[in-house]
Structure 1
Amino acid sequence: MVGEALLRTVTTFLAGIVFLVSLSIWFRNLKRNSQLRAVPTVGFSNSILSYLSFLRFNLDGFRMLKEGYEKTKPGLFKIATFRTWMVFSTSPELIEDVRKAPDNVLSRRRPAEEVLQTDYTLNYLNKRDHYQGHVILSQLTRIASTTFEDICEELVLTLDDNIPTTGKEWVEVPALEMTQRVICRVTNRVFVGAPLCRNRDYQALNLNFAINVMKFATVLRLFPDFLKPLVTRTISNLPSQFQREMEFIRPMYEERLAKMEELGDEKWDDGPNDMLMWLMNESKGVEKSLEGVARRMLGVNFAAIHTTSSTMTQVLYRLLANPEYVEPLRREVEAVVAEYGWTTDGMDKLHKIDSFVRETQRLDGLGIVVLVRMALRPFTFSNGITIPAGTYVAAPVGAIHTDEEVYTNPDEFDGFRFARLRESSEGLAGSKHQAGVTSPAHLSFGHGRHACPGRFFAATELKVILARIVTTYDLKLEEGKEIPRDLCFSSGRFPREAKMGEEDMTPCDSGRGTAWKIKST
């Protein structure tokens, strides 16, 4: 009886909290709705019925964005979210308004903190210190050239481990799982080096951490702020994963810290060149502790692994769905490798490989919304429309990427679209069509100073993996299977699992064999 009474009391208390929070949100939206009358609405504009639009957006977001884009271009339109309104820019000029806005007017961090609940998930010791972004931008961008040989070596080894080919027989390989393992291992060759990057338990920790962050953040968003610390202490398994990271990196951390203390102000010229060392060099205060560095290591893995592996899966699916591209891609790689070897200079010459990746991103980008910002104060667009503080702004990337005024035959996959654009451009103008380069017309990595800081490293990974695969394996879908439809929910798009078959390189001609031997050395 006491237990039932306590349960009823708790249930009533939580229901009251949900009611009060919903009522507060409703009143705020009512006020913002009146301030946003000049912005057309997709769905319902009524403060109560707008929740139906929010539910529809979670299930059918792409079509809602396409509808708003086509009706209002080159203007603005809005769609309801659970807490506020999101206003979308539909022209390059309005996208540039968002890009140029200072952070104290349109904040990039606030939406990310809300979605990921970073205070309780990533939970850095100094929550105001975001130094890892500078590390990624300044160091990781250069690593592709300085340790490219290590990346190629690790890629060969991990493909061998994760694609168990035997002679001429076809084997079934789950594409998404395979790419996650490959990206995790290759990435961590740069982050922590060998042999730790090859440790299956360490790989599992990094792969599972991102999944657990997203799951727990989804749960936390259901609770008011004052209950979140209690919920975190009660049900989160993330603290145990931070401890596991500390255990894995402790030997390297302590050895390097001792050396740094021994050198004092002297420069460690021949020191390790990996993410762990960069973080140790850049961190300050509590963030320089083992725990501080361990949390940042998991954070950068969270940012690096799943987005890149999902994109790589989409690239493989496009290759499986369009097998006519295999031979042209293979011939390009073989010709470039014969002249330049597996080098960064060679990768820069792979225009078709680069184009295939960029075109996949155009049509199969992992989000249908980018450049998400929160207005911290009223913001006026160049067309004269002002939005109130608390409003979200964004760009409907899927609609922009399939605009026939921007791209010829926009709904058609054209793997060499950007290679042709690159080759027809004069001088350095062609570089704007490379994977990793952003523009108002190609927003897969965002745009402007807040574009993905690791995008050039990610693009290099994607290109070298695709180049290795087309010169080493034959691929086909499992008999009777089709490419699975993406899973779309809210503003995200995620590839589903499918199996594909790979044939061993043994029966291939000498050109492919030579390419393999060059790369493995």
Structure 2
Amino acid sequence: MLTCIATRNVKAPMVGHRSVLEPAWLVGYRFTTQGRSMLRQGYHNFRDKLFKVRCNSLEVVLLPNRYIDELRNIPEEKASPPKALFNKGLGHYVDMDIILESRLHVHIVQQRLTPTLGSIMPQLQQELEFALETELPDCHADGWVSINVQDLLARLVGRLSARVLAGPELCRNEEWLSASVKHSGHAFATSMTLRMFPGWIRPIVAPFIPFYWRARSDVATAKRLVGALVERRRAVESQQGAAYHKPNDLLQWMMDEATGTDASPHKLAHRLLFVSDASVLTTSILTTHFLLDLCAHPQYLNPVLAEITKVLREGGNFQRTMVPKMVQLDSFLKESQRMNTTFLMTFDRVLNAPITLSDGTTLPKDTHVAMPTDAMLHDPAYLPGGGDPNTFDPFRYARLRQRPENAHRYQLAMTDSTSLPFGHGKHACPGRFFASSEAKLLLCNLLLRYEIRLPEGQARPDNLLVAENLVPDPAARLWFRKRGDGDELLRSLSGVGE
């Protein structure tokens, strides 16, 4: 409520009104299905100025690109990304309070997970071998199998992420897998449903939403499973003392650094589920879009496969040092992400204090600000290398990286002031390097092991727009068939797949 009041005090045009007589609540209601066109309309009409949109009952101020560098340098005490995420997701109703209590998980991902990616890639490859056999048991070389692609990738990513988050004890636990894969969808459905109602009635409506109870059940499952795991580890460490060999996973790193209430088993479990949500959501959507785009443009399959094979032959087992060499694969992923931006607005902040920008623009306390990321990614002025921003060009960034000065630029996990899918600056998505490596490991294995295509006579399924979110069609299916030479090819690549 305070955010809406503060945003209304910002002098900026509100986009999306069909007439001056249209009530604000109706504009917010239409945003659910017309959010992308409203944001692009605002960007087109007010490209270098502030404008506002009404996301259901939440009002957001969209800032022009010129403010991004000064905004990213404002400390979190004054401009809070967690509070913005909490407000947009109606965190009180989906147990998101954990992200406001501390930044323990962010610190651990940045300081412990990212530097160790090289050493954990062999573990992920091993887990992926098991996961593919488990999730695709009926996929053989003698026939095609129709598979819901997003469901498959969510479970594969869920298994890989759990291996890194809490080791072998959790990654093959079906209860954890179900809760961790489904929780983000249950929470999203709950918050999007509640956003359709005025704030005063939400506490009454929430208990009647089935997804509300499913999300709570997922959290309870996580607390039970992970809480027990934390207690077992602490008991063994207490018994063995200095001889105890600590697991090398994110849960243990959080256990080692957590203090106060953060160290309670249930808090650690809840935080681990939140990290899992982010990992599964980001990587499964990214890889789903990749496969849908590749199947819609099959002429790019052979170049991508040739690059993967060449890099693996030169490097042996899948290692993080090989990831930067997969330039075409990275470029395809980055272009697919550009064309199918999950979050149409990013760089969200809620102001904890009034701020005055360099040109004198003043924003009051509690204002929710963001950047129109999707519109910027389709602006020719911000498209590196030029060209048509509405044309899918999967090797766009690979060509740019052929220039010596660009060799280490324009990569999927890198951010800059004009490419904001992962945010930018010190509050950019901390897990983006893991997501990039995990996605490439998964896609390399899928493309080497399976033939994948769209159903006969069908085009790429349209994406689903829900307010400021763009996601793949959850019903999208692809046909899979095991390559006759897939396993032999993997074995020949210096040990990959063994």
Could you state the TM-score of these two structures normalised by the residue count of structure 1? 0.85
Deviates more, 1:389-398 or 1:125-134: 125-134
Gaps of 5+ in 1: 1-20
CA change 1:479–1:199 in 2 (3 A) is same
Q: Give distance in 1, aligned partners of 2:207 and 2:238.
A: 36
Inter-partner Cα distance in structure 1 for 2:396 and 2:222: 43
Q: How far apart, in 2, do the equivalents of 1:104 and 1:246 lie?
A: 30
Distance 1:271 1:129 in 2: 24
Equivalent residue runs for 1:195-344 within 5 Å: 195-218=169-192, 222=197, 224=199, 228=203, 236-249=213-226, 252-262=229-239, 270-341=245-316, 342-344=318-320
> Equivalences for 1:50-449 in 2 at 5 Å?
50-83=24-57, 85-91=59-65, 93-122=66-95, 128-163=101-136, 164-218=138-192, 222=197, 224=199, 228=203, 236-249=213-226, 252-262=229-239, 270-341=245-316, 342-407=318-383, 408-426=387-405, 429-449=406-426
How far apart are residue 180 of structure 1 and its match?
0.6
Partner residue, 1:503: 481
* Count of paired positions: 488
Is this contact kept in 2: 1:43–1:50, CA < 8 A?
no
Q: What is the percentage of aligned positions where both structures have the same residue?
A: 27
Does the Cα contact within 8 Å between 2:51 and 2:61 map onto a contact in 1? Answer: yes
Contact conserved, 1:179 with 1:312, CA < 8 A, in 2? yes
* Deviations, residues 416-459 of structure 1 (Å, cap 9, x unaligned): 11112122142xx5323111111112111111111111110001
Residue aligning to 1:18: none
* Letter aligned with residue 100 of structure 1: N
Secondary structure in structure 2 of the residue aligned to 1:295: helix
1-side partners of 2:99 and 2:372: how far apart?
A: 33
Higher mean alpha-carbon deviation, 102-111 vs 364-373, is at: 102-111
CA 289–101 in structure 1, closer or farther in 2 if over 3 Å, else same: closer
> Aligned partners of 2:132, 2:44: CA distance in 1, in Å?
44
Q: Give me the whole-angstrom Cα distance separating, in 2, the residues matched to 1:432 and 1:258.
A: 47
SS at 2:407 equivalent:
helix
Residue 245 of structure 1 deviates from its aligned partner by 2.4
1:151 CA drift (Å): 0.6
Question: Could you tell me which residue of structure 2 aligns to residue 514 of structure 1?
Answer: 492
The secondary structure found in structure 1 opposite 2:381 is coil
Whole-Å separation in 2 of the counterparts to 1:151 and 1:296: 22
For residue 454 of structure 1, the aligned residue among 411, 414, 431 is 431
Deviation digits for residues 148-179 of structure 1 (CA, Å, limit 9, x no counterpart)? 10111112221232233222311111111110
Deviation at 1:350, TM superposition (A): 0.8
Alignment match of 2:462 (pick from 475, 485, 492): 485
1:432 and 1:438 in contact (8 A); partners too: no
CA contact (8 A) 1:125 1:286 kept: no
Match of 1:463 in 2: 440
**Which stretch of structure 1 is more off in the superposition, 451-460 or 229-238?**
229-238
Deviation track 1:50-96 (CA, whole Å, cap 9, x = no partner) reads 333323322212222222222222332222344454221232x2222
Once the two structures are overlaid, the 10-residue window that deviates more, 160-169 or 487-496, is: 160-169
Q: Aligned partners of 1:246 and 1:83: how far apart in 2?
A: 32
- Aligned residues of 1:477 and 1:501 also touching (Cα < 8 A): yes
Provide the secondary structure at the position in 2 that maps to 1:301: helix
Any idea what the Cα deviations from partners look like across 1:476-511, whole Å, max 9, x if unmatched?
111132221111021101111222122212156975
1:432 counterpart SS class: coil
Question: Residue 332 of structure 1: CA displacement?
Answer: 0.6
Aligned-residue CA RMSD (Å): 3.0
**Larger-Rg structure:** 1
